[in-house]
Amino acid sequence: MWRLPLTTLTLRPLVVDQSFSSLSFVRVHARRLCSPASSSSSSSSLPLSPVATSSSSSSSSSSSSFPASFLVLPSAFTGLLGTWQMMRRDEKEQMVSDRKLRLATPERDWTRGWTHAPVPEEGTRICAEGRFVGEQILVGPRPRTLPGTRDTRRGFAIVQAFEPSRRGRASSGGARRASSWWTWSSSARSDSGKGEGERARSSASDSEVFMVVRGWVPENWEGDDASKGARTAISGVVKASEVPSMFVPRNQPAKNTWFYFDTNAMGETLGLPEGTPLVEAVQSDNADASAGVRRVGHVVSGGGASQFPLTKDVAELLTFKVTTQDHLNYAMTWYTLSAITATMAYRAVTARKRLRLKK
């Protein structure tokens, strides 16, 4: 009596089947919407905005111009360095030419009535007789190859004050100017100790004293007769102060430590007035010297100096650490690098242009 109608039993499965079919339909469509193909097709169908197009084009143009600008800057910089080296070469050639003219002039005798009113010009050749006085200054270390050998030894350039003799001068020619560059004021170094050096400075007062680069000596050199005040004849060339590079340590006059020639500082250390000239002794075969006078830098039969200090030959004064040929080699190197980087920049620019044309 409680039996249900047949229609009710048959409809329920149909409803359930329809619900399952609808769920499966939704699931299939959801999978299609989430698939990469549908997303790419849908995105490709959407139009691009002008802002996005311009930003993409500007980024591509900036990326294409960056390598070119990066390569053009080194090319310009190396080209300027090459031009600067050529300018330095021209300056060095002019310096060599001027020095040749000065060295070709005859020596001027410092002890034969030369008034010395103006400070002698750099490169002026002089000769004098007299004696070395006062302390010595060692500049260095400066390695040097010994003449006639391949032995390179460590040593120093030695600087000392030189007091010319008064040969050919009037005994009373009026009072000399105490402020002139040749007057050695013994009171300029009141704090110096007494002894042989002090007596030498006192005797040299009111005389035409100048500084002399006597030459090169090894580090274990103990001096010679000229260092102790013996009469000496010298031939030399007026020398200017050196301009040190950034890699050379600074001089320390208070500690008597010297790495380069500084005329004013050396003169002050030796008790000389400001502006005292510095003369570099050179080798000379000039025999015009008084009897019994030792010549500094005289030449012996072997072509080298007889003993220390070793003096330079006149031809060495025409050479520089960086020669004119070195400047030319440096310039060619910089120009080559400039050409290489310019070629790389040109190829980078043309390659980018070809890619844009293909697109």
pLDDT tens-digit profile of 229-277?
788 899 999 999 999 989 999 999 999 999 999 999 999 999 998 889 9
80, 209: one domain:
no
Dig out the tokens for 330 from the structure: 């440096």
The answer to whether residue 28 is domain-embedded is no
128, 72: one domain:
no
The answer to whether residue 18 is domain-embedded is no
The answer to whether residue 7 is domain-embedded is no
The answer to whether residue 45 is domain-embedded is no
Which CB contacts under 8 angstroms, 24+ apart, belong to 342-347? 342/71, 342/72, 342/75, 344/71, 345/67, 345/68, 345/71, 345/72, 345/75
The answer to whether residue 36 is domain-embedded is no
Total domain count, the chain: 2
299, 155: one domain:
yes
Collapsed DSSP state (helix, strand, coil) of residue 107? coil
The answer to whether residue 42 is domain-embedded is no
251, 111: one domain:
yes
The answer to whether residue 39 is domain-embedded is no
125, 228: one domain:
yes
Q: Report the chain's C-alpha Rg in angstroms.
A: 44
- What is the reported pLDDT for 180? 40
- What is the reported pLDDT for 67? 57
Q: Which domain holds residue 112?
A: 107-166+179-187+195-318
Compute CA distances 183 → 117, 176, 178, 267, whole Å. Answer: 12, 8, 6, 12
200, 331: one domain:
no
* Helix intervals (H) in the chain: 6-34, 36-45, 50-103, 196-203, 263-269, 324-358
125, 226: one domain:
yes
- What is the reported pLDDT for 314? 86
Angle among Cα 268, 156, 325 to the nearest 5 degrees reads: 105
- What is the reported pLDDT for 171? 37
- What is the reported pLDDT for 352? 75
The answer to whether residue 100 is domain-embedded is no
126, 202: one domain:
yes
200, 245: one domain:
yes
346, 238: one domain:
no
- What is the reported pLDDT for 230? 84
pLDDT tens sequence for the chain (359 residues) = 445 444 444 444 444 444 444 444 445 444 554 444 444 444 444 454 444 444 544 455 555 455 566 778 889 999 999 999 999 999 999 999 998 998 888 888 876 655 455 667 888 898 999 999 999 999 999 998 887 788 888 999 999 999 988 654 433 333 333 334 443 333 334 444 444 444 444 444 445 889 999 999 998 888 777 777 788 899 999 999 999 989 999 999 999 999 999 999 999 999 998 889 999 999 876 545 444 455 565 433 333 444 789 998 888 888 888 999 999 999 999 999 999 989 988 888 888 777 777 76
298, 339: one domain:
no
290, 309: one domain:
yes
- What is the reported pLDDT for 191? 42
